[in-house]
Structure 1
Amino acid sequence: MKIVTGETMQGLDRRVIDEFGIPGLQLMENAGRGCAVAITEAFPAAARAVVVAGKGNNGGDGYVIARLLRESGWEVRTIVLAARAEIGGDALTNLQRLNPESLIFSPAPGGLLPYRQILDEATVIVDSLLGTGLKNPVSAVYAEAITLINGSGKPVVAVDIPSGIAAGSGEVLGVAVRAAMTVTFGLAKIGHVVYPGCEYCGSLKIVDIGIPAEVSSSAEGVDFVDSVTASRLLIRRERRAHKGAFGHCLIIAGSTGKTGAAAMAANSAVRAGSGLVSLAVPVVLNPILEVKTTEAMTIPLPDDGQGFLGSTALPAIVGAWEGKDSIAIGPGMSWNTATAELVRQVIRLVTAPLVVDADGLNALSEEVEALANKKSPTVVLTPHPGEMARLTGASIAEIEADRLGVARAFSVRYGVYVILKGARTVVAAPDGRLSINGSGNPGMASGGMGDVLTGIVTSLLGQGYEPFTACQLAVFIHGYAADLVAGEKGEIGMSAVDVQEHLPVAFRSLN
């Protein structure tokens, strides 16, 4: 599903008006009608609505909704947070179509309190205050209205986006309406699907307002990966296929005390469908990994008896990656000088698709420019916000404030694929493409989850998926398997191995 910014959507509206000759008044009518239908379908027993409207086009949509609900037999009052003289254009045309006796104009701060009873008596409140053009924090009478709406305890239907949510980032601009349902137009907006905005939207319904398909399809947007999208990404298997058809991946991982990370990455690659998996580990740890992995093969690497890998392991690693379809490095390797230099040497030498995670990312953070000398055309980095902060030199707060922008900028600059983990994980490609993941839950906030994801990404790359698709599908399957675990066991106490074991079920559910 494509999602866009508010600015992009406004540009589409202008193009439809200018190039296709569809009047703005007609688009407003279509939007209001779509909302009115959604309201009556969602609340069939309701009979009393209060529309709280602003003076712009979002308010104009609300005036259409008020008229259509009234025509269908509802009792409707419309509270306008502006003076009549402030309203113009298409919004004024639709305001004039309303029964004057149903209108209340309350433009001044403090003027809404006498109308609290009207809100309390409503069965549905319609929020058509601010829309997707909002850029600055909500203040004055608008902030008061939002506070009263949220305090009413009534179900709220937001028109286009809950008032107070930034359409391009999901940021709460001071205060925001908490809706039971949001009805948006043409395309979903980024603020609908990322946190914290998505928590304010309730259920999201997208209605067609007559924007030609050629206009929508040409819009610059971001992919939102849900189960429908993920199913389309999945490559169906030939019935006569054999293990050689599904890739042989190599995972370089592990150090003393961190054998679990190595095992989870390898076992997850198996569960994600790799034909063969080899796990390269420090030789002193090989007996442990022989026990922790059954289907994966182990490759003991020279470690000078230290339990971690350094430059003496490089010749063996170069030999091990011959004939491999994808490679991962980093899980549980430890962060020390010798290991960090080994990671950077591997990045400079390997030509196969490469996934760098965990301590591999820590090694890169000391010398990010090592990426400029990479030989592989496909390098995937899988940082969480803390790791991304170390890679970029920004603070975690800065990373979280602009996850899409940070991921895209780094990806384009260094020619790598970035999976920026977190709630609504972001995937960025070197050509500027962006994707937001729609699966997962808070139960995934536990150790080892990143190692599972590394195994899945490496597996899909080895199976021949296009890199951006491999990243998108891996992230979705990872979260979807966790959602399946949550459905069976709950979120609290969920382990990475629980998710790993549910990977085949997750794939089956999409197939």
Structure 2
Amino acid sequence: MFCASVEQMKSIDRRAITQYGIPGVVLMENAGRGVVTVIEKSFAVGRGAEVLVVCGVGNNGGDGMVVCRHLLRRGASPRCFLVGKKSRMKGDAKTNLHILEKCGIDVVEIEDRIPRQFTRSLGRSVLVVDALFGTGFRGKLKGCALEVVERINRSRLPVVSIDCPSGLNVDTGCVDGSCVEATATVTMCVPKVGLVFYPGRRWVGELWVVDIGVPEQAIAEEGMLTSLLESHDIHMPPRDPAGHKTTFGWVAIVAGSSGLTGAGAMASLACLRCGAGMATLCLPESLNAALEAKLTEVMTYPLPETDAKTLSLNALELMAPVLKKADVVAVGPGLSTHPETEQLVRSLIEKVDLPMVVDADGLNALSGKLRILRRRKAATILTPHPGEMARLTKMGVPEIMANKPGVATRFAGENRVTTVLKGAPTIIASPKGEVLINSTGSSALATAGSGDVLTGVIAGLLAQGLSSTDAAATGVFLHGLAGDIMAERRTEYGVIATDLLESIPEAIELVLGSERGFFEGGVRRVL
């Protein structure tokens, strides 16, 4: 599902109205009705139950007034408050104000102070609908709007925000001051970028999308390159029923050093767990006995080492028999930053013409040496976390975090690589400018070795014939879903990296059984 900026969404709305002839008041009606559908699905609002609806004077407020009318039709008892004067409402919002008043709903204005009716209604209500500010909001909440939002937050009532929580900058996901703490946010047509990135995602709650009747062609014509990954977007490589182990790919994993043996072990097993036919772990010779005992299904290949028990530069030539058979190379987990080992990594990336996944110390070896990447012809996937991206780009981590999609996209394009910028959420950027935002995962993945498992999953999928972007996207989604599965069983506190190896097959099973995400009753939950 595409993700839009504010300007892109405005352009889509204009196109639907001017080119496709859909009146704005129809889009507003569909929006409000969709919000009520979400309320019915997610909240217990019985007949006669009081619902507090707080509206602004713009189109977001108009949506709120449609919500009031449909709640009334369903037997609830909505109370509508307008922050501002009715005389400031225009167009479709003004039309819905007049309709609502003709239906017998009193719209109470809030200007200089909070009226007693608001306080009483807040105390009696079972739900609050936030229709104060929409996607155009910038800056800080002030005056009565600020007081209203703070009272709503203090009430601890469930809150449904229309399009976005009031106070949130929907382009950046940032909040300057106060913001509505929504239980659910119901956004229109497509998700907005700031709703799926932190810090904005903290205020969103559940994220629902409403189909307001904009034709798919009108959305496609916008040419958006940013999408939210969902299960039906994930493509597992096909399994030939007559295939054998070499049919499904051979991965060479160059990993491990003294004290960091687990990284290579987990990456190797993850390759096999996602369907690769064979995996060979290339490692320092002194570590071989321990890892041969630990890894039953993975082949090991001992190589010359430095005095620090890390791979030496001589290892590259002796690795040739494995590289001749391998379909993909994964390099980096647990290698160390020993100068000779870093030199080996750079030589491997530069001289070996195989698809490659580079992670961890493999990335550290590339700092200041990115020209190596630009000379590669085979597919290359890099999987940095923000700290590693900072070392690669010479940017500060705060600067990266403030614009993760932009940083990842620019890096991917300049260096001709698929970039997996890890975090919450993880972003996949292709060299062609496509940006995919992952929708799975949680703090359960914030554990040592989790990234090594991800490296192995992506390499295993790449070895089975997926393109670099598809392998990265599928790997990130499965990895996050595996974490979600284990978090359900062991909580987000209790998951460790080897747990992910257990749940990857279950994650694959869920993806294989998923269907395209249709809008049921015109609405669909995406986060």
TM over 0.5: yes
Which 10-residue stretch deviates more, 33-42 or 499-508? Answer: 33-42
**Equivalents in 1 of 2:474, 2:192: separation in Å?**
21
1:97-108 equivalence runs, <5 A? 97-99=99-101, 102-108=106-112
Q: 1:239 aligns with which of 238, 241, 248?
A: 241
1:53-98 CA-partner distances (Å, limit 9, x unpaired): 1111111111222233234433222211112232222211221222
Residue 259 of structure 1 is aligned with which of 257, 261, 267?
Answer: 261
Distance (Å, rounded) in 1 between the aligned partners of 2:259 and 2:36 = 60
Moved more, 458-467 or 87-96: 87-96
Q: What SS does the aligned partner of 2:314 have?
A: helix
CA distance in 2, matches of 1:2, 1:337: 43
SS at match of 2:209: strand
Q: Distance in 2 between matches of 1:173 and 1:160?
A: 18
1:412-445 superposed Cα distances (whole Å, 9 cap, x missing partner): 1111111111121111111011111111121221
What fraction of aligned residue pairs are identical, expressed as a percent? 40
The answer to whether the aligner puts 1:331 opposite 2:333 as a matched pair is yes
Unaligned runs of 5+ in 1: none
How many residue pairs were aligned? 507
Measured at CA, do residues 448 and 37 of structure 1 come closer, stay the same or move farther in structure 2, by a change above 3 Å? closer
Deviation at residue 123 of structure 1 after TM alignment: 2.0
Note the aligned Cα RMSD (angstroms). 1.9
Secondary structure of residue in 1 paired with 2:371: helix
- Alignment partners' CA distance in 1, 2:260 and 2:213: 56
3-state secondary structure, aligned to 1:277: strand
1:112–1:145 contact (8 Å) kept in structure 2: no
1:10 Cα deviation from its structure 2 partner: 1.4
Distance 2:481 2:40 in 1: 32
Give the corresponding residue for 1:168.
Answer: 171
Separation in 1, partners of 2:359, 2:332: 5
- Work out the CA distance in 1 between the residues paired with 2:149 and 2:173: 17
Partner of 2:446: 445
Once the two structures are superposed, the pairs formed by residues 266-285 of structure 1 within 5 Å of their partners are 266-285=268-287
Cα pair distance change 1:508/1:94, threshold 3 Å: closer
Matched, 1:218 2:218: no
Stretches of structure 2 lacking an aligned partner (at least 5 in a row): 513-527
Question: Which deviations, in whole Å up to 9, do the C-alpha atoms of 1:468-493 show, x marking residues without a partner?
Answer: 11101111111111222222222223
Q: Secondary structure at the match of 1:210?
A: coil
1:482 aligned residue:
483
2:463 aligns to what? Answer: 462
Indicate how the Cα distance of structure 1 residues 15 and 472 shifts in structure 2: closer, same or farther if over 3 A, else same: same
> The residue matched to 2:300 in structure 1 has which SS?
strand
1:23 and 2:23 aligned: yes
Q: Read off the aligned partner of 1:382 and give its amino acid letter.
A: T
Instruction: Tell me the secondary structure at the aligned position of residue 206 of structure 1.
Output: strand
Q: Cα offset for 1:328? A: 0.9
Paired with 1:13 and 1:82, the residues of 2 have a C-alpha distance of 25
Matches within 5 A, 1:100-119: 102-108=106-112, 110-111=113-114, 115-119=118-122
Q: Within 2, Cα distance between the matches of 1:79 and 1:106? A: 7
1:93 equivalent in structure 2: 95
The separation in 1 between residues aligned to 2:317 and 2:377, in whole angstroms, is: 17
Q: What's 2:39 paired with?
A: 39
The amino acid of 2:226's aligned partner reads V
Partner of 1:380, secondary structure, is strand
SS of alignment partner, residue 250 of structure 1: strand
* Contact persistence 1:54–1:128 (CA under 8 A): yes
Secondary structure at the aligned position of 1:96 is classed as helix
Aligned residue for 2:251, secondary structure, equals: strand
Report the Cα distance in structure 1 between the residues aligned to 2:491 and 2:390, rounded to whole angstroms: 31
**Which residue of the partner structure matches residue 122 of structure 1?**
125
d(CA) in 2 for partners of 1:482 and 1:112? 48
Q: Aligned residue for 2:322?
A: 320
Cα displacement (A) at 1:141 = 2.5
1:370-414 CA distances to partner (integer Å, 9 max, x unpaired)? Answer: 3223342x1111111111111111222222222111111111111
- SS of 2:319's equivalent in the other structure is helix
Q: Is the 8 A contact 1:4 1:189 kept in 2?
A: yes
Any residues of structure 2 matched to 1:294-443 within 5 Å, and which? 294-376=296-378, 378-443=379-444
Distance 2:181 2:380 in 1: 41
Q: Aligned-pair distance for 1:101?
A: 6.3
Structure 1 range deviating more: 27-36 or 462-471: 27-36
Q: Quick check: 34-43 or 401-410, which moved more?
A: 34-43
SS where residue 188 of structure 1 aligns?
coil
Query: How far has the Cα of 1:450 moved from its partner?
Result: 0.8
The answer to whether structure 1 residue 205 and structure 2 residue 208 are counterparts is yes
Is the 2:45–2:76 contact (alpha carbons within 8 Å) kept by the matching residues of 1? no
Structure 1 residue identity aligned to 2:346: R
Mark the CA change 1:72 to 1:332 in structure 2 (over 3 Å): closer, same or farther: closer
Q: State the distance in 2 between where 1:369 and 1:144 align.
A: 54
Q: Indicate the larger mover: 194-203 or 379-388.
A: 194-203
Contact residue 120 and residue 154 of structure 1 kept, 8 A: no
Match of 2:492 in 1: 491
Partner Cα distance (1:425, 1:399) in 2: 13
Gap change, CA 1:238 and 1:218, over 3 Å in 2: farther
User: Which residue identity does 2:29 align to in structure 1?
Assistant: E
The alpha-carbon distance between structure 1 residues 180 and 304, as it changes in their structure 2 partners (threshold 3 A), is closer
**Does the 8 Å CA contact 2:45/2:126 hold for their aligned counterparts?**
no
- Please state how far the C-alpha of 1:223 moved relative to its aligned partner: 2.3
- 1:205 Cα shift? 2.5
Report the equivalent of 1:51: 53
Contact 1:457 1:471 in 2 (8 A): yes
Kindly state the Cα deviation for residue 114 of structure 1 after the two structures are TM-superposed: 6.5
Q: Secondary structure at the match of 1:130?
A: coil
Aligned to 1:147: 150
Provide the secondary structure at the position in 2 that maps to 1:365.
coil
Per mean C-alpha deviation after superposition, the further-off stretch among 110-119 and 158-167 is 110-119
Structure 1, residues 4-30: CA drift from partner, whole Å, max 9, x if none? 222211110000111011111221122
- Measured in 2, the distance between the counterparts of 1:291 and 1:353 equals 29
**What amino acid maps onto 2:268 in structure 1?**
A
Cα offset, 1:292, TM superposition: 2.2
Structure 2 counterpart SS, 1:62:
helix
Query: Compared with structure 1, are the counterparts of its residues 449 and 113 closer, same or farther at alpha carbon in structure 2 (3 Å cutoff)?
Result: farther
SS at match of 1:235: coil
Contact 2:58 2:89 in 1 (8 A): yes
Instruction: Note if 1:138 corresponds to 2:145.
Output: no
Q: 1:102 to 1:496 in 2, by over 3 A?
A: same
The CA deviation string for residues 176-206 of structure 1, in whole angstroms up to 9 with x for no partner, is: 2122222222112223322233332233332
* TM-score, scaled to structure 1: 0.94
Q: Which amino acid aligns with 1:496?
A: A
Q: Do 1:5 and 1:221's aligned partners in 2 also have CA atoms closer than 8 Å?
A: no
* CA distance 1:488–1:39, change in 2 (3 Å): closer
User: Normalization by structure 2: what TM-score?
Assistant: 0.91
Q: CA deviation at 1:357?
A: 0.6
Aligned mates of 2:448, 2:221 — CA distance in 1? 41
Distance, in Å, in 2 between the alignment partners of 1:101 and 1:436 is: 42
SS at match of 1:364: coil
Would you say 1:178 and 2:189 are equivalent positions? no
